């Protein structure tokens, strides 16, 4: 029997897409259960933001071993931006990071984000999706900022869940 590379690659890609969808759906399943167990009157947005913060802190800690200062500040920020863009890519999105006009800024662009689709399946508002993604990314920066002693921040300029067609995030070193 001949080996059909296209068929095998197709199988692997289908498996990957299914796994990616389960990641997002598992997050929203967890959110739904947390809301069911919470006291009456709990704000679903606060539950989502708290989860996003926890996810972001864990992700930030996992990035630390792969980040370094060997090639200077501009390269460090670009690598951090690429790692943050990679969060979308791992989930099945399409994201990149590129240098900004200043050496202390990087722009992260995402043109395909699967999270709004998953959120719709669970009745989550697009406002919550946008705020939680921003909270998660800012939480990633907390430990990275402390570890490298660099005040980092980000600014969401555009967001897919807000109907702006793409995510555009400015990652930058805060001026002291």
CATH code (residue 96): 3.30.1380
- Number of folded domains in the chain? 1
Range of the domain at 150: 5-173
Instruction: Output the pLDDT for position 39.
Output: 85
Tokens 């980000």 locate to 154
**Cβ-contact 32, 122 below 8 angstroms:** yes
Instruction: Output the pLDDT for position 124.
Output: 95
Instruction: Output the pLDDT for position 72.
Output: 87
Instruction: Output the pLDDT for position 89.
Output: 92
Instruction: Output the pLDDT for position 9.
Output: 84
Instruction: Output the pLDDT for position 175.
Output: 83
Series of mean pLDDT values for 10-residue runs along the chain (176 residues): 83 81 87 90 93 94 88 92 93 94 95 93 95 96 93 96 96 89
Tokens 């109907």 locate to 163
């Amino acid at each position: 029997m001949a080996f059909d590379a296209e068929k095998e690659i197709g199988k692997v890609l289908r498996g990957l897409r299914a796994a990616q969808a389960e990641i997002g759906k598992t997050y929203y399943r967890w959110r739904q259960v947390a809301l069911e167990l919470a006291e009456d009157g709990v704000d679903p947005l606060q539950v989502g933001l708290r989860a996003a913060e926890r996810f972001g802190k864990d992700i930030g800690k996992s990035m630390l071993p792969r980040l370094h200062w060997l090639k200077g500040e501009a390269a460090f920020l670009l690598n951090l931006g690429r790692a943050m863009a990679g969060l979308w890519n791992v989930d099945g999105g399409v994201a990149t990071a590129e240098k900004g006009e200043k050496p202390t800024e990087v722009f992260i662009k995402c043109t395909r984000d699967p999270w709004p689709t998953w959120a719709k399946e669970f009745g989550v508002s697009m406002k919550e999706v946008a705020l939680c993604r921003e909270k998660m990314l800012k939480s990633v920066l907390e430990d990275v900022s402390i570890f490298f002693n660099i005040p980092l921040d980000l600014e969401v300029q555009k967001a897919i869940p807000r109907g702006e067609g793409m995510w555009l995030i400015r990652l930058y070193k805060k001026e002291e």
